[in-house]
Chains A and B, each alone.
Chain A
Amino acid sequence: MTTVSMQMPDGAPEEVVTHALVRDVDLGAFGCPGTLALITLDNGQDHNRPNTFGVQSLQSLDAAITEALSRKPKAIAITGKPFIFAAGADLSALAFLSNREQALAIGKLGHDVLRRLGESDIPTFAFINGLALGGGLEVGLHCTYRTLATTAFTALPEVFLGLVPGWGGATLLPQLIGPERATQVIILNALNNNTMMKSKDALVLGVVDAVFDPADFLERSISFAAQILNGTKKIERADYSNDPGWESALATGKAAALKKYGGAEIAAPARALALIGQSRTATRTSGFDAEDVALADLVMSDALRSSLYAFNLIMKKRKKVEGAPKPALARKVTKVGVVGAGLMASQLALIMVRNLKCPIVMTDLDQARVDKGVAWVHAELAKLVEKKRMSAESARRLSALVSGSVDQSVFATADFVIEAIFEELSLKQVLFKNLEKIVSPECIIATNTSSLSVEAMTQGLEHPERVIGFHFFNPVAIMPLLEIARTSTTDDATTATAVAIGKELKKTMVITKDSPGFVVNRLLIRFMGEITDAMDEGTPPEIADNAMRSVGLPMSPFELLGLVGPGVALHVAEILNKNLGPRYRISPTMQRLVAENVRTFYTKGDDGKYVANPAALALVEKGTNPSTSEQVRMRALNALAEEARMMLDEGVVSTPAEIDICMLLGAGWPMILGGILPYLDREGISQAVCGKPFHEKGVASLPL
């Protein structure tokens, strides 16, 4: 029995305790004399509130292990409640740890309890019947053997969150499955948007020893245990200490982390890789001690606090749309019109048909464009069938729903029409006036504009109250954010309908005021503008572009420029310049890139690596006032702080959290920055630029 006397920190929410319950199983019925002590992890709630481990839960498990051992069983096994094994440490408590001793203690407590499963005199089994994440999977890794339900997902998402698998995982997993596969699970999967293992992946990687159908998972797992215990089944374990793959695995992990964070060395993956490297020769004790230190260091970092804030924000905003009218006000949408059949419009048609499963009509100027758009959607659906992500029947159903026409009268019976035509206000104004003659007075007219005034598009309309901004991010299918822009006249029924559609599309939505660039583009273009300005002033392009590397953004400004395309970026900059003021400058370099049709600063060399594009470099404005890297960085960050504060003051959105969620999900900025504002706070930039931080201390940072 260990001494587990830790208390939860003040202010932490009351723990939903996962109880560890012990019962005897007669192994005689499974062909092995003796009993198995079966520990069930069950917090008494349904699967929407998974089992988690806080202090009391760990103490319960500790007591259960003691109780189990006292019954002198042949073996101990541990399993979960229906659909859930355990989802890991109780994250809600982590944010309340206020000193390093507490952080060390929570790591040590986890180790002290879980290692009993790995150090007992009798074999231990984890019967992973359902979801097992982080500390949940680590419970299993301490056990001698593991079985897994075929439908269960498993992962070590700690590095994704800014932690390390610090209850034994970083040490035990490499020793169990070798450095390459452990790096795959701990680093690559985590950084790849928290990819979870399917059961067959976990089996192939060696994370588990057997998989069984969920229908009688527990019974078959006990049968498996009985076969191990009576000697009819043996599981061979390899010794990886002399594996030739250690260095290359660590290098692969390091490269993945650098790529994920745009070249910045970020603590969590670095610490995890160090632990993996150390596990080659580590004992349990030395490995676990190192995990405790790494965990405490990370828990007591602002980056982790920002990450937890961001994680909770993403979870919360997925469900609740700030400022959304009552859902009951939403109108039924049974037919959607898409004006335009270009790539953006086609993506809109695809996501609409996949999720709304109603007729989608696309229009464009001529039949060839219309045909091309419809054909693109059909081809994308066919690709899904090829990848076995959709049945041929579903694809047939959806394909049949997508049609096109050069005659906008097909919109007459639509409930929702969205335009994705060229970003030119006058064109959209004409379009909307024409549409109003065709569609019903209740039909919602939405625009996917990224920077124009939605309100201006309603000029002269009889029913401006049904116009709304509905701004997606590219690629539409992948980027989770949808900015919904209300004009001063947009009514609640229109907004409610837009939100209802967004929910169907599985997007996270932020409702913004109709203001140029809304949130994401306003910040991104401002930020990119500072970089191009610095370059135009004479800062060497590579200095300007690399100035932000240490921050941890997924792409450098010019990489982002290559993705967006200089034409679009310049066009948006021009619109924002006109509407928001001269701080959005028009870069002569950008103008030349567009004029010369040079699309990117980087080209792929013969060896597949990206190199500076000489055609672009030749067009760079030759200024005489170069900045240092640090000056560029500061000016870009200062600009972000200034712009964010202006947006809040103008009421574009009502809370800093909405700006953060936009940058997390619309720009893909990392959780360790908390989106962006927590980072600006902790770097002292908000204080310097705006005279105050965006978030109160402790919200997305250490509470000290």
Chain B
Amino acid sequence: MSHSVVVVDAVRTPFGKAGSLYANTRADDLMVRAVRGLLERNPKLPPNEIDDVAIAAATQTGDQGMNLGRSVALLAGLPNTVPGYAIDRWCAGALTAVTTIAGAIAFGSYDFAIAGGVEHMGNHPIGDGLDPNPRYLAEKIVEQDALAMGATAERLHDRFPTITKERADKYALNSQVKTAAAYAAGKIQRDLIPTAARNAELGWAIATVDEPPRPTTTLEGLAGLKTPFRPAGRVTAGNSSGLNDGATAALLANEKRALELGLTIKARLVSFAFAGVEPEIMGYGPVPATIKALAKAGLSIGDIGLFEINEAFAVQVLAFLEHFGIADDASNVNPFGGAIAVGHPLASSGVRLILNLARSFEEHPEVRYGMTTMCIGLGMGGTVIWENPHFVGTTKAGK
């Protein structure tokens, strides 16, 4: 009884630096804006046809609490017949919202649903309000490093000594360069929903571009940055994603119903998998997750023509690429740049990967399969494999 699951559309707010652009904007308002922008772009979908709204946040208190899925549905003006739920898998929140919704569509329970995520790291600093069980450390279930994401990145450098700070900085620079190029070509702006942000001193701002990118980044500049997670370390603010605010939303559908309503199709789900690793090297998570997802799809890494991998840390991307024998600067990996440049508002990022991949699919009809993957705190990875609906070739890999 499995049904084909597709992404009809995906959008996001421009991302901001924590404490800056959206300092006076609520997280739920960001999320509402993304959902309303998504629906405005897809007027053929009657809102009462939406079967569920799954919204992720890594911290679910305050303006990210109150069951975000339901409260965003109500605040966005969806009919009160549309239900919703909140979801959490830390950085992979939105990705998990997508896969969970996808499961329900595949099962035939849903025809249309919204999956998204938001993180206002200005309002909810990472780790804020957490109360780790003392058993973690007392019983050596994890080491201290496992609980600080920067420390896990340093540990990954320890694990893979060939991934040097220089390689990480070079990768980070490339992310900035690719992002700047994508912006110059207008490739990123088209999926950004302009978002009003109040500032009592300066007046309303209308965000139309991401705030975090640093297009003037240089290798020299990166080399000189501090390594805050350990003395003489390798992980810096420059080769990591920042602390950001933003929201993303995707419209998922049963393919048949989507076509009946005349909706576009941007990506078709092939398989997904989540996998665990040692929490101390959480950045390695995408490797086992990808192996698992490929196996379920009956594909090999060579069949994947386009990659969107979340850049929590450069080292974690490089560990993935090195495992699968892909070049650090491969043009089919994060072609529009990644989180190191545009930012990583934790639970929102999964859908950003999908919307980028969908745009790359349009540009590459010769590619049949693409992948979105990301690492997750406490030692996990998540991978989703997608089929390009624009694919015109005949071979399996298409490349």
Partners in one complex: yes
Query: Residues of A at under 8 Å CB distance from B?
Result: 21-23, 25-26, 28-30, 38-40, 42, 44, 79, 81-82, 213, 215-216, 218-219, 222
Q: Can you pick out 27 interface pairs between chain A and chain B where the beta carbons lie within 8 Å of each other?
A: A21-B201, A21-B202, A21-B203, A23-B202, A23-B205, A25-B208, A28-B189, A28-B208, A29-B189, A29-B192, A29-B208, A38-B203, A39-B203, A42-B200, A81-B198, A81-B200, A82-B198, A213-B77, A215-B76, A216-B36, A216-B37, A218-B196, A218-B206, A219-B33, A219-B196, A219-B206, A222-B194
For A39, give the chain B residue with the smallest CB separation: B203
Q: A29-B192, A213-B77, A218-B196 are in contact. Are A22 and B203 (CB under 8 A)?
A: yes
B8 at the interface (CB under 8 A from A): no
Q: What is the minimal beta-carbon distance from B22 to any residue of chain A, in angstroms?
A: 14
Identify the 5 closest CB pairs spanning chains A and B, nearest first. A21-B203, A40-B203, A29-B208, A218-B196, A25-B206
B75 at the interface (CB under 8 A from A): yes
Across-interface contacts of A216 in B (CB, < 8 A): 32-33, 36-37, 196
Across-interface contacts of A30 in B (CB, < 8 A): 194
Q: Is the CB of B189 within 8 A of A215?
A: no
Q: Is the CB of A23 within 8 A of B196?
A: no
Q: What is the minimal beta-carbon distance from A26 to any residue of chain B, in angstroms?
A: 5
Across-interface contacts of B193 in A (CB, < 8 A): 219
B241 at the interface (CB under 8 A from A): no
For A23, give the chain B residue with the smallest CB separation: B203
B195 at the interface (CB under 8 A from A): yes
Q: Is the CB of A218 within 8 A of B204?
A: yes
Within 8 Å by CB of A219, from B195, B201, B209, lies B195
For B33, give the chain A residue with the smallest CB separation: A216
Q: What is the minimal beta-carbon distance from B199 to any residue of chain A, in angstroms?
A: 8
Once the chains are docked, how many angstroms separate the CA of A213 from the CA of B203? 20
Across-interface contacts of B206 in A (CB, < 8 A): 23, 25-26, 29, 38, 218-219, 222
Once the chains are docked, how many angstroms separate the CA of A287 from the CA of B270? 70
For B35, give the chain A residue with the smallest CB separation: A215
Once the chains are docked, how many angstroms separate the CA of A81 from the CA of B193? 21
Across-interface contacts of B192 in A (CB, < 8 A): 29
Across-interface contacts of B202 in A (CB, < 8 A): 21, 23
Once the chains are docked, how many angstroms separate the CA of A26 from the CA of B208? 7
Across-interface contacts of A38 in B (CB, < 8 A): 203-204, 206
Q: Is the CB of B77 within 8 A of A215?
A: yes
Q: What is the minimal beta-carbon distance from A132 to any residue of chain B, in angstroms?
A: 16
Once the chains are docked, how many angstroms separate the CA of A81 from the CA of B198? 8
Once the chains are docked, how many angstroms separate the CA of A79 from the CA of B205? 11
Q: Is the CB of B203 within 8 A of A42?
A: yes
Q: What is the minimal beta-carbon distance from B84 to any residue of chain A, in angstroms?
A: 16
Chain B residues 102 to 121 lying within 8 A of chain A, measured CB to CB, are none
Q: What is the minimal beta-carbon distance from B71 to any residue of chain A, in angstroms?
A: 13
Q: What is the minimal beta-carbon distance from B55 to any residue of chain A, in angstroms?
A: 15
For B205, give the chain A residue with the smallest CB separation: A23
Across-interface contacts of B208 in A (CB, < 8 A): 25-26, 28-29
Across-interface contacts of A81 in B (CB, < 8 A): 198, 200
Once the chains are docked, how many angstroms separate the CA of A25 from the CA of B201? 16
For B29, give the chain A residue with the smallest CB separation: A215
Q: What is the minimal beta-carbon distance from A214 to any residue of chain B, in angstroms?
A: 10
Across-interface contacts of B75 in A (CB, < 8 A): 215
Chain B residues 176 to 202 lying within 8 A of chain A, measured CB to CB, are 189, 192-196, 198, 200-202
Across-interface contacts of B201 in A (CB, < 8 A): 21, 44
Across-interface contacts of B36 in A (CB, < 8 A): 215-216
Once the chains are docked, how many angstroms separate the CA of A218 from the CA of B33? 11
Q: What is the minimal beta-carbon distance from B16 to any residue of chain A, in angstroms?
A: 15
Across-interface contacts of A215 in B (CB, < 8 A): 32-33, 36, 75-77
Q: What is the minimal beta-carbon distance from A151 to any residue of chain B, in angstroms?
A: 12
Across-interface contacts of B203 in A (CB, < 8 A): 21-23, 38-40, 42
Report B196-236 CB contacts with A as 1/0, cut-off 8 Å: 10101111111011000000000000000000000000000
Once the chains are docked, how many angstroms separate the CA of A687 from the CA of B193? 69
Across-interface contacts of B200 in A (CB, < 8 A): 42, 44, 81
Once the chains are docked, how many angstroms separate the CA of A25 from the CA of B207? 8
Q: What is the minimal beta-carbon distance from A691 to any residue of chain B, in angstroms?
A: 54
Once the chains are docked, how many angstroms separate the CA of A29 from the CA of B196? 13
Once the chains are docked, how many angstroms separate the CA of A222 from the CA of B198? 15
Across-interface contacts of A40 in B (CB, < 8 A): 203-204
Give the interface centre of A28, A213, A219 by most chain B CB atoms within 10 Å. Answer: A219
For B197, give the chain A residue with the smallest CB separation: A218
Q: What is the minimal beta-carbon distance from A519 to any residue of chain B, in angstroms?
A: 45
Give the interface centre of A39, A216, A218 by most chain B CB atoms within 10 Å. Answer: A216
For A45, give the chain B residue with the smallest CB separation: B200
Q: What is the minimal beta-carbon distance from B26 to any residue of chain A, in angstroms?
A: 11
Across-interface contacts of B76 in A (CB, < 8 A): 215
Across-interface contacts of A79 in B (CB, < 8 A): 204
Q: What is the minimal beta-carbon distance from A153 to any residue of chain B, in angstroms?
A: 20
For B196, give the chain A residue with the smallest CB separation: A218
Q: What is the minimal beta-carbon distance from A24 to any residue of chain B, in angstroms?
A: 9
Once the chains are docked, how many angstroms separate the CA of A44 from the CA of B206? 19
Across-interface contacts of A213 in B (CB, < 8 A): 77
Once the chains are docked, how many angstroms separate the CA of A40 from the CA of B201? 10
For A22, give the chain B residue with the smallest CB separation: B203
Q: What is the minimal beta-carbon distance from A327 to any residue of chain B, in angstroms?
A: 31
For A42, give the chain B residue with the smallest CB separation: B200
Q: What is the minimal beta-carbon distance from A149 to any residue of chain B, in angstroms?
A: 12
Q: Is the CB of A219 within 8 A of B204?
A: no
For B204, give the chain A residue with the smallest CB separation: A40
Chain B residues 32 to 76 lying within 8 A of chain A, measured CB to CB, are 32-33, 36-37, 75-76
Across-interface contacts of A28 in B (CB, < 8 A): 189, 208
Additional A-B contacts beyond A21-B202, A29-B189 (9; CB < 8 A) = A25-B206, A26-B206, A28-B189, A40-B203, A213-B77, A215-B36, A215-B77, A219-B194, A219-B196
For B206, give the chain A residue with the smallest CB separation: A25
Once the chains are docked, how many angstroms separate the CA of A22 from the CA of B76? 28
Once the chains are docked, how many angstroms separate the CA of A23 from the CA of B196? 12
Across-interface contacts of B77 in A (CB, < 8 A): 213, 215
Across-interface contacts of A39 in B (CB, < 8 A): 203
For A223, give the chain B residue with the smallest CB separation: B194
Q: What is the minimal beta-carbon distance from B385 to any residue of chain A, in angstroms?
A: 32
Once the chains are docked, how many angstroms separate the CA of A81 from the CA of B200? 8
Report B254-286 CB contacts with A as 1/0, cut-off 8 Å: 000000000000000000000000000000000
Q: What is the minimal beta-carbon distance from B99 to any residue of chain A, in angstroms?
A: 28
Q: What is the minimal beta-carbon distance from B35 to any residue of chain A, in angstroms?
A: 9
Once the chains are docked, how many angstroms separate the CA of A21 from the CA of B33? 24
For B24, give the chain A residue with the smallest CB separation: A82
Once the chains are docked, how many angstroms separate the CA of A22 from the CA of B201? 10
Once the chains are docked, how many angstroms separate the CA of A23 from the CA of B202? 7
Across-interface contacts of A219 in B (CB, < 8 A): 33, 193-196, 206
Across-interface contacts of B195 in A (CB, < 8 A): 219
Within 8 Å by CB of B194, from A22, A29, A44, lies A29
Give the interface centre of B196, B202, B204 by most chain A CB atoms within 10 Å. Answer: B204
Q: What is the minimal beta-carbon distance from B160 to any residue of chain A, in angstroms?
A: 41
Q: What is the minimal beta-carbon distance from B75 to any residue of chain A, in angstroms?
A: 7
Q: What is the minimal beta-carbon distance from B185 to any residue of chain A, in angstroms?
A: 14
Across-interface contacts of B33 in A (CB, < 8 A): 215-216, 219
Once the chains are docked, how many angstroms separate the CA of A213 from the CA of B36? 11
Q: Is the CB of B204 within 8 A of A23?
A: yes
Once the chains are docked, how many angstroms separate the CA of A218 from the CA of B199? 14
Across-interface contacts of A29 in B (CB, < 8 A): 189, 192, 194, 206, 208
Across-interface contacts of A25 in B (CB, < 8 A): 206, 208
Across-interface contacts of A22 in B (CB, < 8 A): 203
Once the chains are docked, how many angstroms separate the CA of A25 from the CA of B206? 6
Across-interface contacts of A82 in B (CB, < 8 A): 198
Q: What is the minimal beta-carbon distance from B272 to any residue of chain A, in angstroms?
A: 32
Once the chains are docked, how many angstroms separate the CA of A427 from the CA of B33? 66
Once the chains are docked, how many angstroms separate the CA of A681 from the CA of B77? 55
Q: What is the minimal beta-carbon distance from A48 to any residue of chain B, in angstroms?
A: 15
Once the chains are docked, how many angstroms separate the CA of A42 from the CA of B198? 10
For A21, give the chain B residue with the smallest CB separation: B203
Once the chains are docked, how many angstroms separate the CA of A571 from the CA of B213? 83
For B193, give the chain A residue with the smallest CB separation: A219
